[in-house]
Amino acid sequence: MSVYDKTESLKGDKKIPLPILFKRLWYYIKPEIWWFVFAFLFIIVNVVIEAIMPQFISMIVDKLEFVEDLIETGDSAAVNNLYYIIIVAIGYLVLSVVSFIFYYIQGIILQRSGQRIIYKLRMEVFEHIESMSQNQLNDMPVGSLVTRVTNYTTSMSDLFTNVLVNLLKNILMVVVVFIMMMILSWYLALVQVGFLAAVFLISYIFRVIVYRIFKKERQYVSEMNAFVNENLSGMKITQIFNQQKRKENEFLVKNENLRKTRYQVVLAFGLYRPLLTILYYGAIVTTFVLGMQSEMTAAVAVAFYLYVSRFFNPVQSIADQLNAIQKANSASERLFNLLDIDPQVLDRPDAIEVDHFEGKIEFRNVWFAYEKDNWILKDVSFVIQPKQTVAFVGATGAGKTTILGLIVRNFEIQKGQILIDDIDIRDIKIKSLRKKIGQMLQDVFLFSGTMRNNITLHDESYTDEQVMQACRYVNADSFINKSEKGLDEIVIERGENFSQGQRQLISFARTVLSEPQILVLDEATANIDTETEVLIQESLEKMKNIGTMLIVAHRLSTIQKADQIIVLQHGEVIENGNHQSLLKQKGFYYKLYKLQFADN
């Protein structure tokens, strides 16, 4: 099993029984049901029109012999028959135009209703993804999520706008046409039932086979999207270490899996459609042979031939609809499996809004693990007073970043309590909690757009003066003023047209603009040059006046002025104090200090 297979299994994808699947789909169809009924009425009219149109052809054929009499004798009865043919032909044309108009109206209704359903479903899926915790999102490849939001909803769109209604139409067409054939010749109509039974048997076998193929195809598409997304993001590393050939071979395997699966789809349909065609021609031949034996008139024979076509064409159309149904079935399973994942971090029913934080933070016997029993934090307790600047120090994996993530509820603790101003953070609404906490991380993410949009996050309530004031506060104005377009300077994907230091300053401005009462800095100065770090240190001194400040930093020079330094090792607090008191203890912090400042 590949890494991507394992990642797929983490989502808990499972087979959903068809009755339950249809029940869940009904939730989305129900608000639009009257539009579907309205469209179905047009379909009924069109089916009736198509059912009676062969009768018009039959009437024309029945009178054609008199046209020859008109040419040879000029008989007045033949002239009347010619007029009769012309009137019937005009009637046929009128019905064709009416049918076209009804098909057009029906299509518009279905497309609008279907797109409203898909819009709602797509928004629900996206909002559900947004509600998941960081721990859950880390278990899901981005490519797979993108596939579910885009490709799978497209398959569902076909189901609502085309497949379901046309499937009903084709079933109705088969029933109505069969009744018309019974009226013309009950004997020949019953013969067609034998061919229809063969069609349904072949279709059932085809459905069972093609469902398995489509399920595998969906998995391979998702794996390929995840693989491509991951490797495009890591292309720089691939090129630096000359791993292109190995990645090509990995992609070749996934591409070959997808090719083979789609070839199986082509093979299945390549056998299915010809078998239906053979049955169709067999039905036509049988109709004419038995019709000749029963001395059937030419008019009835033509009508019956047209009905046989209308009898088999809907059944053959079901081949394509089965294709779409199987895709939509597989897609809806994946979408509902995603929606069935309960977010790990949710607001409690009685959660409260908080207008302001004084900034007191307390951890009481906190235990946390990303995976069961693999504890990252073990019985961690400490108290941070309002307006204090507190630094977390320790080796990689000690739990420093985890503590910062827990404060903003990116993850949920298993044991203990985390309190802000003596209120359990689980009793505070997540949106309210995060609004009061400004986060500045090492890995800065900038969205495509402009610098202004990345600082304000599209909040139009901020004026340009407020934005520039925040930029000046963190010394970001030094390079913004040099930009040709200022705040309107274009930011490409991930902000790759800016240096690491510039991206960090933009994120600082973004945080300061939101006026938080608690500041969180996770290695925010790690990848910044010395000159930029000096500018940031100046702004950090100002930002201490904003509220409580929590810092994770490997450079001890950046945290020496902290009011409190908490030293972590293997998920436990082993030392706590300010810079001078920790040096006097000559413990773990003292050893770190000596390593970094050995030359002094």
Residues 208, 202: Cα–Cα separation, whole Å: 10
Residues 400, 405: Cα–Cα separation, whole Å: 9
Residues 211, 205: Cα–Cα separation, whole Å: 10
Q: What pLDDT is attached to residue 219?
A: 81
List CB contacts of 352: < 8 A, sequence separation 6 or more.
423, 427, 428, 429, 432
DSSP symbols for 14-39: ----HHHHHHHHHHHHGGGHHHHHHH
User: What sign results for the dihedral spanned by CA atoms 481, 484, 486, 487?
Assistant: negative
Q: How confident is the model at residue 9 (pLDDT cuts 50, 70, 90)?
A: very low
Both structure tokens of 343: 């977010």
Strands 423-424 and 415-420: antiparallel
3-state secondary structure of 226: helix
> Counting beta carbons within 10 angstroms of the beta carbon of residue 513, is it exposed (0 to 12), middle (13 to 18) or buried (19 or more)?
buried
Residue 356: count other Cβ atoms within 10 Å of its Cβ: 9
Residue 313: count other Cβ atoms within 10 Å of its Cβ: 16
3-state secondary structure of 214: helix
Q: How confident is the model at residue 26 (pLDDT cuts 50, 70, 90)?
A: confident
Answer whether residue 527 shows pLDDT above 90.
no
Averaged pLDDT score across all residues of the chain: 82
Return the residue matching tokens 């009744």. 179
Both structure tokens of 569: 């090792």
Q: What pLDDT is attached to residue 565?
A: 93
Answer whether residue 2 shows pLDDT above 50.
no
Confidence (pTM): 0.69
DSSP symbols for 496-564: TTS-HHHHHHHHHHHHHHT--SEEEEESTTTT--HHHHHHHHHHHHHHTTTSEEEEE-S-GGGTTT-SE
The mean pLDDT of 362-383, rounded to a whole number, is 91
Residue 520: count other Cβ atoms within 10 Å of its Cβ: 23
Q: What pLDDT is attached to residue 22?
A: 83
Q: Which of 187-191, 299-303, 567-571 has the highest mean pLDDT?
A: 567-571
Distances (CA, A) of 172 to 86, 110, 199, 313, 409: 31, 18, 17, 13, 55
Return the residue matching tokens 């299994």. 9
pLDDT digits (tens, 9 = 90+) for 92-141: 899 889 989 998 998 898 888 888 988 888 889 888 888 888 777 877 77
How far does the chain reach from its first CA to its final CA, in angstroms? Answer: 54
Tell me the sheet residues that pair with 368.
Answer: 377
Q: How confident is the model at residue 57 (pLDDT cuts 50, 70, 90)?
A: confident
Residue with the larger pLDDT of the pair 380 and 76:
380
pLDDT digits (tens, 9 = 90+) for 258-270: 999 989 888 888 8
Residues 221, 439: Cα–Cα separation, whole Å: 36
The mean pLDDT of 373-380, rounded to a whole number, is 90
Residues 397, 207: Cα–Cα separation, whole Å: 51
Q: How confident is the model at residue 568 (pLDDT cuts 50, 70, 90)?
A: very high
Residue with the larger pLDDT of the pair 5 and 224:
224
> Counting beta carbons within 10 angstroms of the beta carbon of residue 534, is it exposed (0 to 12), middle (13 to 18) or buried (19 or more)?
exposed
The CB-based long-range contact list for 560-566 (8 Å cut-off, 24+ gap) reads: 561/389, 562/389, 562/390, 562/391, 563/385, 563/388, 563/389, 563/390, 564/384, 564/388, 564/389, 564/390, 564/391, 565/390, 565/391, 565/392, 565/393, 565/589, 566/382, 566/390, 566/391, 566/392, 566/393
**% pLDDT > 90, the chain:** 15
The mean pLDDT of 535-549, rounded to a whole number, is 74
Min mean pLDDT across 205-209, 236-240, 293-297, 489-493 is at 293-297
Q: What pLDDT is attached to residue 424?
A: 94
Both structure tokens of 129: 């993804």
User: What sign results for the dihedral spanned by CA atoms 158, 159, 161, 164?
Assistant: positive
Domains and CATH numbers, the chain: 3-339 (1.20.1560.10), 359-436+549-600 (3.40.50.300)
DSSP H helical ranges for 234-373: 235-240, 244-293, 298-339
pLDDT digits (tens, 9 = 90+) for 406-417: 999 988 899 999
DSSP 352: B
pLDDT digits (tens, 9 = 90+) for 277-291: 888 888 888 877 877
3-state secondary structure of 334: helix
Strands 389-394 and 548-552: parallel
The CB-based long-range contact list for 259-263 (8 Å cut-off, 24+ gap) reads: 261/213, 261/216, 261/217, 261/220, 262/217
The mean pLDDT of 154-159, rounded to a whole number, is 79
Answer whether residue 72 shows pLDDT above 60.
no
Residues 149, 122: Cα–Cα separation, whole Å: 6
